[in-house]
Amino acid sequence: MKIPRSNEDSKEFFRSILPDDPRITIRPMFGNISAFVNGNMFAGLFGDDLFVRLSDESRKELLEKKGASLLEPMKGKPMKEYVVLPNAWRNQHETVRIWVTRSLDWTSKLPPKKTKK
């Protein structure tokens, strides 16, 4: 399986829409980059697609928007808590920031991910 890679513009955009929050760490994931809080991934890039992790309610709301879809890194195996934001929103930084902030807020309430040792 060939995993799509993010271009430099997408990486720069991704970093620009993240909240200024000391709890956030950025790490490689899926051969791209993702943002984590308490060890839990809350947003990231898959190729040039931006995805966020959301509560059931927020996920349903976002999936009603044209161009939104579940993140599916492997065909037929969606990651049910993660939604790809519409590409049309790429120029709507404030709209994207709202969804990324919602993702951070919800994911930060999850139990911290235990580190493997």
**CATH number, domain containing residue 93:** 3.30.1460.30
**Global pTM?**
0.92
Q: Are strands 40-46 and 32-37 parallel, antiparallel or unpaired?
A: antiparallel
Let me know if residue 25 belongs to a domain: yes
Q: What are 14-48's pLDDT values in tens digits? A: 999 999 999 999 999 878 999 999 999 999 999 99
Euclidean distance between CA atoms 37 and 24, whole angstroms: 5
Residue ranges making up the domain that contains 97: 8-107
Asked if residue 61 belongs to a domain, the reply is: yes
Q: Summarize the chain as % helix, strand, coil (round to 5).
A: 30, 30, 35
In a domain, 83, yes or no: yes
Note whether residue 116 is domain-resident: no
Sheet holding 69-74, edge to edge: 24-29, 32-37, 40-46, 49-53, 77-84, 69-74
Q: Confirm if 23 and 108 have CB atoms less than 8 A apart.
A: yes
How far is residue 106 CA from its own chain's centroid?
A: 12
Q: Give residue-wise pLDDT tens across range 42-97.
A: 999 999 999 999 999 999 999 999 999 999 877 888 898 999 999 999 899 999 99
Contacts of 105 by beta carbon, 8 Å cutoff, 6+ apart: none
115 domain-assigned? no
Residue 37 is assigned to a structural domain of this protein: yes
Q: Is residue 87 part of a domain?
A: yes
Q: Does residue 94 form part of some domain?
A: yes
Centre a 10 Å sphere on the Cβ of residue 55 and count the other Cβ atoms it contains. 15
Q: Please state the domain count of the chain.
A: 1
What percent of the chain is predicted at pLDDT more than 70? Answer: 97
